[in-house]
Structure 1
Amino acid sequence: MMKYVCDACGWEYDEEAGSPENGIAPGTKFEDLPEDFECPLCGVGKEFFSAQ
């Protein structure tokens, strides 16, 4: 499983942990997040995230 970091604010999405507080179950791959997913901290879209 991978981690993705928001290039704008540094918020990290960990596929293994998911983001339950934002309605994303553990084990959810970044590519499976909805196309309209936005960073919960700064609101930018998936295109502003980089794989780590």
Structure 2
Amino acid sequence: MTEFTEWLNLQMQMSEVLQVIDTMPEDKLRRLTKELIRQLRDIAKRHVLAEEP
């Protein structure tokens, strides 16, 4: 698979995700956003811990 094909596939997937998000009820979207932020913080903490000597 070429780099362009990979990029195109990602663009199509993002488009599908955005369509789902656009039709999602606000309360569900809020819960998912909070969960996403929590997961990103966990990833960031692990990344920082991995860099410490």
Normalised-by-shorter TM-score class: under 0.3
More strand by share: 1
Larger Rg belongs to: 2
TM-score by length of 1: 0.19
- Higher RCO structure, 1 or 2 (CA under 8 Å, sep 6+): 1
More helix by share: 2
